[in-house]
C-alpha cells in the first residue's frame, strides 16, 4: 500500500505545474515575494521554486515559508566561474553587443551614453576593437535579422549548471527579473535548450530603455505600461501579442500605504524636528556624475536658512555608494564629512539583505515610503524615485547641477547632468511636467520655495504621470501579474520549438 501511495504522490507531483523564478536582485525579491505575485500563483495551484543568492537562501526561506513554495540557490559562483573561464572575451563582447544593439526605432540616448563610457574606459585591446564593434552595432540597430542571429548565437554558451534542478522539479515556465541581462541568462538558455518557455518580469522603470536584446531566446514579458511595451516591441523585437501590461507590483504597497509610518514615528526615527519642513534628496546616477555638488548646494541652503521657511534635509545614499574601493564610496565619505556637525542635516543609508543582492532591498520599504510621504519637497536626479514620489503625491525637483570636471579622473568617463534630459525615462518626466528641473543653486532655491509655498503645484501632472507609467494605481498589479504568470504556467508546453520563437518584427 505504501508503494502504491508513493507512486500516486509522484504522479500528482509530475502533473502539477511548476514555475522557476530567478530573483537575483534585492528588488526582485520585493517584486515577487513582498507583493501578491507569488501568493496569487500559489492560490492557483502553481508550485513555485524561487532561485536566489546562495548566501541568503536560508534566510529568505525562513521568512517567506509557505506550502508549495520552495527555495534554491542560484549558484552564482559557478556562473561567474563559467563566464570568466569559457571564452570570456567573446562572451563579454556578445553581452556588450546585446546591450547596445537594439533597434533605433526607439530612443537610444541612454545606451548611447553607455557606449561613450565604454569607448572611454575600455582597455587598449577594447579601444582597438571599438570601431569594428560600432560598425556592427549600426547594423544591429537597423536589422532585425542581425539581432535575431546575435541572440541565438549565444546559445552555445549554455552550461548545464541547473540540470539537477530541472530534473527535480520539471518546470513548465521560467520567470526572470530581466531577459538575461544579468547572470540569469544562463538559466534562461538552459530552459530554452530544454524546450521550456521563459518570461521576463520588468522590475525597473528604465530597464526596457537602458538594456535591449535578450540573453536567451524568450517568449513572454510582463511590463508596467503601454510605454514599456512599445520599448520592448519596437526596441528589442518582442512580439506584441506576447507582452502583457501588468503594472508594477512593487508599488502596490505604496498605493495601499501598507509600509507608511506616521509622521511622528518617522520624524522620531531620524531625530527630525516636527516644526521644520522636510526636504529629502535621494542620490542617484552615480555612474556618470557625482551627486556631491547637488548635495552641497542643498546643505548650504538649509544650513544657512536661506529658504523661505525653516527646513531640514534628509539625504539618502545610493546602493552603489557601498561598492568597496570605488569612486562612489569615496563620494559617500565626502558626504558624511560635509554634513558632520550640522544639526538640520541627516543621512539615510539603505539596508543590505546580504549575499550578492546588494543594498537594493525590501528591508527598508517602510523607510523609503515614509521618506517620500512626509517630504515637503523631494529631490533627486531623475531616479526611479520620481515615479515613487509621484505616487505619494509630493512635489518633485530633479537637481541637475553640473560638477566642474565631472569625476576629475582622466581614466573615468564623466557625463554632465545637464546632458541627460533626453534619456527616455528622463524625457518622459520632463514632458509630463510632473516636477521641476533645475541646473544651478538659484533655480534650486526658487523651485523649493515654490513648492514650500504651493505644494499643490503640478499635482494634476503628477497624477497623470503615475497613471501613464504604472497603469494600475489601485494596488492590484500584484494579483494581475500573478494571474498572468499562472495562466502561462498552465498553458505552457514543453517543446523544442520554443527556442525559435524570438521573432524580430523590423
Question: What CATH number is given to the structural domain containing 307?
Answer: 3.40.50.2000
| 479 in any annotated domain | yes
- CA separation (Å) from 22 to 160, 167, 169, 375? 16, 17, 14, 35
Instruction: Give the mean pLDDT of the chain.
Output: 92
Per-residue pLDDT of 429-481, as tens digits, reads: 999 999 999 999 999 999 999 999 999 999 999 999 999 999 999 999 999 99
Q: Are residues 204 and 304 in the same domain?
A: no
| 5 in any annotated domain | no
Q: How crowded is the C-beta side of 78, counted as CA atoms within 13 Å?
A: 13
Q: Are residues 464 and 486 in the same domain?
A: no
* pLDDT at residue 324 in the model: 87
Q: pTM of the full predicted structure?
A: 0.91
Q: Are residues 236 and 323 in the same domain?
A: no
- State the Cα angle at 205 between 202 and 211, rounded to 5°: 70
Q: Are residues 22 and 102 in the same domain?
A: yes
Give the structural domain span for 145.
11-247+473-506
Q: Which residue has the higher pLDDT, 362 or 442?
A: 442
Residue-wise burial string across 14-41, b where 16 or more C-beta atoms lie within 10 A, e elsewhere: eeebbbbbbbbbbbbbbbbbbbbbbbbb
The size of the chain, in residues, is 506
* pLDDT at residue 362 in the model: 56
Helix (H, G, I), strand (E, B) or coil at 271: coil
* pLDDT at residue 218 in the model: 95
Q: Which residues contact 243 (CB under 8 A, 6 or more apart)?
A: 220, 221, 222, 223, 229, 232, 233
Per-residue pLDDT of 2-48, as tens digits, reads: 443 444 444 444 578 999 999 998 899 999 999 999 999 999 999 99
Q: Which residues contact 277 (CB under 8 A, 6 or more apart)?
A: 309, 310, 311, 312, 376, 377, 452
Residue 353 has pLDDT above 70, yes or no: no
Distance (Å, whole) CA 415 – CA 310 = 34
Residue 501 has pLDDT above 80, yes or no: no
Residue-wise burial string across 462-484, b where 16 or more C-beta atoms lie within 10 A, e elsewhere: beebbeebbbbbebbbbbbbbbb
| 414 in any annotated domain | yes
* pLDDT at residue 287 in the model: 83
* pLDDT at residue 327 in the model: 87
Query: How many domains are there within the chain?
Result: 2
Q: Are residues 450 and 412 in the same domain?
A: yes
Q: Are residues 147 and 212 in the same domain?
A: yes
* pLDDT at residue 364 in the model: 82
Distance (Å, whole) CA 346 – CA 267 = 11
Amino acid at each position: 500500500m505504501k508503494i502504491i501511495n508513493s507512486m500516486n504522490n509522484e504522479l500528482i507531483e509530475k502533473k502539477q505545474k511548476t514555475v522557476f523564478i530567478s530573483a537575483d536582485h534585492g528588488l526582485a525579491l520585493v517584486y515577487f515575494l513582498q507583493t501578491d505575485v507569488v501568493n496569487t500563483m500559489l492560490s492557483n495551484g502553481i508550485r513555485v521554486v524561487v532561485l536566489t543568492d546562495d548566501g541568503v537562501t536560508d534566510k529568505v526561506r525562513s521568512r517567506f515559508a509557505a506550502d508549495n513554495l520552495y527555495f534554491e540557490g542560484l549558484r552564482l559562483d559557478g556562473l561567474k566561474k563559467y563566464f570568466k573561464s569559457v571564452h570570456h572575451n567573446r562572451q563579454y563582447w556578445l553581452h556588450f553587443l546585446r546591450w547596445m544593439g537594439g533597434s533605433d526605432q526607439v530612443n537610444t540616448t541612454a545606451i548611447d551614453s553607455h557606449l561613450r563610457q565604454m569607448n572611454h574606459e575600455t582597455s587598449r585591446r577594447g579601444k582597438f576593437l571599438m570601431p569594428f564593434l560600432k560598425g556592427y552595432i549600426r547594423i544591429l540597430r537597423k536589422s532585425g535579422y542581425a539581432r535575431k542571429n546575435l541572440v541565438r548565437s549565444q546559445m552555445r554558451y549554455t552550461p548545464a549548471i541547473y540540470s539537477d534542478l530541472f530534473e527535480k522539479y520539471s518546470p513548465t515556465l521560467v520567470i526572470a527579473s530581466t531577459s538575461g541581462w544579468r547572470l540569469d541568462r544562463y538559466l534562461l538558455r538552459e530552459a530554452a535548450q530544454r524546450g521550456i518557455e521563459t518570461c521576463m518580469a520588468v522590475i525597473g522603470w528604465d530597464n526596457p530603455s537602458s538594456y535591449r536584446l535578450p540573453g536567451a531566446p524568450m517568449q513572454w514579458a510582463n511590463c508596467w505600461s503601454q510605454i514599456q511595451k512599445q520599448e520592448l516591441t519596437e526596441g528589442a523585437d518582442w512580439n506584441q501579442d506576447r507582452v502583457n501590461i501588468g503594472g508594477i507590483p512593487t508599488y502596490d504597497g505604496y498605493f495601499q500605504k501598507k509600509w507608511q509610518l506616521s509622521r511622528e514615528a518617522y520624524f522620531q526615527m531620524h531625530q527630525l524636528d516636527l516644526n521644520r519642513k522636510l526636504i529629502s534628496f535621494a542620490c542617484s546616477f552615480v555612474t556618470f556624475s557625482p551627486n556631491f555638488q547637488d548635495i552641497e548646494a542643498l546643505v548650504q541652503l538649509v544650513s544657512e536658512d536661506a529658504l523661505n521657511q525653516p527646513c531640514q534635509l534628509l539625504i539618502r545614499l545610493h546602493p552603489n555608494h557601498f561598492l568597496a574601493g570605488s569612486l562612489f564610496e569615496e563620494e559617500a565619505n565626502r558626504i558624511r564629512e560635509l554634513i558632520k556637525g550640522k544639526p538640520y542635516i541627516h543621512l539615510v543609508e539603505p539596508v543590505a539583505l546580504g549575499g550578492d543582492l546588494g543594498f537594493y532591498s525590501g528591508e527598508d520599504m517602510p523607510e523609503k515610503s515614509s521618506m517620500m510621504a512626509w517630504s515637503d519637497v523631494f529631490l533627486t536626479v531623475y531616479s526611479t524615485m520620481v515615479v515613487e514620489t509621484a505616487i505619494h503625491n509630493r512635489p518633485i525637483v530633479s537637481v541637475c547641477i553640473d560638477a566642474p570636471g565631472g569625476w576629475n579622473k582622466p581614466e573615468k568617463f564623466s557625463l554632465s547632468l545637464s546632458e541627460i534630459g533626453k534619456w527616455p525615462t528622463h524625457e518622459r518626466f520632463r514632458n509630463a511636467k510632473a516636477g521641476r528641473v533645475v541646473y544651478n543653486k538659484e533655480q534650486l532655491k526658487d523651485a523649493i520655495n515654490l513648492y514650500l509655498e504651493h505644494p499643490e503645484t503640478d499635482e494634476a501632472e503628477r497624477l497623470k504621470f503615475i497613471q501613464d507609467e504604472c497603469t494600475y494605481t489601485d494596488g492590484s498589479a500584484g494579483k494581475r501579474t500573478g494571474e498572468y504568470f499562472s495562466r502561462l504556467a498552465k498553458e505552457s508546453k514543453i517543446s523544442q520549438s520554443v527556442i525559435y520563437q524570438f521573432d524580430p518584427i523590423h
